[in-house]
Amino acid sequence: MGSDEIDLTVEDERVTKMRDALSDDALVPVIGQSFVDQTVYLDGRSFRGCRFLRCHFVIRLGWFRLWGINPMDDCTTLLDPPVRHGKRLADATAKGARTSG
């Protein structure tokens, strides 16, 4: 491998550091709350037994947990680019399709 080539067989050390900093132990617990007609930023939080009605979810990193969630009625979701690109890759590989962009 030349000096300009990147070893893609190992995780980028910057990603390793970020992933280690984003452990589940660091998630802020949100328990038994109801959210109605709100924009809710999910990242960094662990939701347990919550209810969402007509909410707009924003997911920037995909670092959150949902446990025992009651129905999410009429909610929408915005995926920021890092999560959107990951979803596109997962969807494409599940279908055996090629990816672009």
Q: What is the pLDDT of residues 30-80, one digit of tens each?
A: 999 999 999 999 999 999 999 999 999 999 988 899 998 877 899 999 998
- One-letter amino acid for residue 22 of the chain: L
What are the distances in angstroms from CA 24 to CA 30, 41, 66, 84, 100? 13, 16, 12, 21, 32
Mean pLDDT of 72-99: 84
Q: How many CB atoms neighbour CB 39 within 10 A?
A: 11
Round to whole Å and give the CA distance between 47 and 45: 6
Secondary structure element (H or E) that encloses residue 59, with its range: strand 56-59
- At 20 the pLDDT is 79
**Residues forming a β-bridge with 35:** 52
